[in-house]
Every structure is written in structure tokens, then in C-alpha cells.
Amino acid sequence: MSPQVLIVDDDRSALYALNEVLGDLPAQLVFATSGEEALRQVLKTEFAAILLDVRLPNMDGFEVAAAIRSLERTRRTPIIFMSANEDRRKTPRPTSHPERYFRKPLIPELVRATVLAYLPAPAVEASHSELHNRV
């Protein structure tokens, strides 16, 4: 089974754009439009990485990340925070957990490279091999 990447954003156009940017990676993309929905997904599925919008209704991205980190199974899951606002007070602090912080508008190549780096090597190698066979 291919690795899975969770993408959390309440803006459906942002989800569409991320699907366009990441859709051909060797991973299954799973989408959530709220922090609560993201946590339900995390409880039932293991993710190779999570892209998490900071500004979500009811529960912001940092609260969602704290809940994810509170679970032993997901403590080390890489989280990529995304935000349109510069709020230095909420910028993730240095941590032993794999975290990145990207400002919106996102740079597609940077997002792709970051997510690809978090995917397990066999999935990435299979993707490169498949691409090579097509050329």
C-alpha cells in the first residue's frame, strides 16, 4: 500500500491547489477541512506526513498538532504548517519533532520536495523507476 499524506485546510481552493501540486507523488492524498476531521483521520490512519493550515475554525493548526503529538503512534509524524499570516508568536519553536513552516502563497516546488523527502524510500524509488521506464 502506498504511503498516505494528510492535507488539512478549510479553504477548498487550497485543497484543490495542493492536490494539483502533489497528486502525482507516490502517495495517497487524504483531505480534511477541519482540525476535528484531521484528528479523526489520524486516529484511524498512519500518515507519512501532514500538511496543516494554521488558521482553522474552532481548533487552530497548533492545537491540532499538539493533539497529534500527544499520541505515541503519531508523535514523530512530520508536520508541515502552512499559514498566510505572519504571527511570530505562533511560529513553531525548535523541537525534536519533524516540523516545517511555510508561508502562503506556497511555493509548489518547495512543498513537493518537502513532502517527497518525508515519503518512505521504497515509494520514492518505485516512482523514479516508473518515470525512468516511461522515458
What would the pLDDT profile of 103-127 be if each residue is shown by its tens digit? Answer: 999 999 999 999 999 999 876 565 5
pLDDT of 18 higher than 50: yes
Helix %, strand %, coil % of the chain (to 5): 45, 20, 35
pLDDT higher than threshold 90 for residue 38: yes
Which pLDDT score is estimated for 3?
97
Q: Phi and psi (nearest 5°) for 6? A: -95, 130
**What are 39-80's pLDDT values in tens digits?**
999 999 999 999 999 999 999 999 999 999 999 999 999 999
On the question of pLDDT at 132 being above 50, the answer is: no
Residue numbers of the domain that contains 115: 4-134
81 close to 101: Cβ distance less than 8 angstroms: yes
Report the CATH number that the domain containing residue 117 is assigned in CATH: 3.40.50.2300
Number of domains in the chain: 1
Residue 90, pLDDT score: 53
Question: At which residue does the C-alpha cell 492524498 appear?
Answer: 29
Where do runs of H (alpha helix) occur along 1-135? 12-22, 35-44, 61-69, 108-118, 121-134
Higher-confidence residue of 87 and 85: namely 85
Supply the pLDDT for residue 121.
84
Question: What value does the mean pLDDT take over residues 21-40?
Answer: 97
Q: Which residues contact 107 (CB under 8 A, 6 or more apart)?
A: none
d(CA 30, CA 15): 10
